[in-house]
């Protein structure tokens, strides 16, 4: 059996189960698909669109495409790390140590007025990557939150019962 006390036996460790959930699988696929789609765009249509931009917009394009790829590589690293947990290749505590190398706050986009001058497809990829990053950040907090302190909670009715008892003893 488990080495946990009986009272803990019924507790479900959310963080341990989350990476095995269908939601994580869906997020993983979405993230990897976004990485592939972005790479294909930047190597294909994106190059053509970038050549048609003026000098200032071209500089913004280069900057934002680097930020986008950096953000996606950090997200892909996080997703792959947690897939390894799901597949039993590492423990959650090992993943917790390794994830310190991943920056989930990396490469936020530049000013909106500059980004809106970029091709629509690049803007869409940036927006989707930011949405994915926000969801991964929330999931990361859920998975790697420290376990709650286990304090003994007494019966909340005891003070009222004691007050009733004292009132009738008078």
pLDDT (average), residues 91-116 = 85
- The residue ranking higher by pLDDT, 168 or 39, is 39
Whether 78 and 140 have beta carbons less than 8 Å apart is answered as yes
Torsion of CA 15, 16, 21, 23, to 10 degrees: 20
**Which two tokens mark 6?**
């009986």
Candidates 90, 97, 83; CA nearest to 18 is 83
pLDDT at position 141 is: 85
- The residue ranking higher by pLDDT, 21 or 88, is 88
- Alpha carbon distance 112, 114 (integer Å): 5
Report the SS3 class of residue 44.
coil
pLDDT at position 100 is: 83
Quick one: DSSP state of residue 20?
Answer: T
Q: Is the pLDDT of residue 125 over 50?
A: yes
Torsion of CA 19, 25, 29, 35, to 10 degrees: -10
pLDDT (average), residues 12-16 = 50
Instruction: List, in order of start, the domains of the chain with CATH numbers.
Output: 12-148 (1.10.8.930)
The pLDDT > 90 percentage for the chain reads: 48
Q: Indicate yes or no: pTM above 0.95.
A: no
Candidates 72, 71, 98, 73; CA nearest to 84 is 98
Whether 90 and 97 have beta carbons less than 8 Å apart is answered as no
């Amino acid at each position: 059996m488990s080495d946990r006390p009986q009272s803990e036996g019924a507790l479900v460790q959310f963080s341990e189960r989350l990476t095995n959930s269908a939601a994580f699988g869906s997020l993983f696929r979405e993230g990897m698909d976004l990485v592939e789609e972005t790479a294909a765009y930047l190597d294909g249509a994106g190059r053509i669109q970038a050549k048609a931009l003026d000098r200032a917009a071209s500089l913004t394009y280069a900057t934002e495409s680097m930020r986008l790829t950096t953000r996606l590589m950090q997200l892909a690293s996080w997703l792959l790390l947690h897939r390894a947990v799901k597949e039993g290749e590492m423990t959650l505590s090992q993943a917790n140590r390794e994830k310190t190398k991943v920056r989930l706050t990396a490469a936020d986009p530049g000013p909106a007025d500059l980004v809106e001058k970029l091709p629509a497809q690049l803007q869409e990829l940036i927006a989707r990557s930011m949405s994915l990053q926000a969801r991964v950040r929330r999931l990361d907090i859920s998975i790697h939150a420290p376990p709650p302190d286990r304090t003994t909670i007494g019966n909340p009715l005891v003070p009222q019962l004691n007050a009733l008892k004292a009132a009738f003893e008078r």
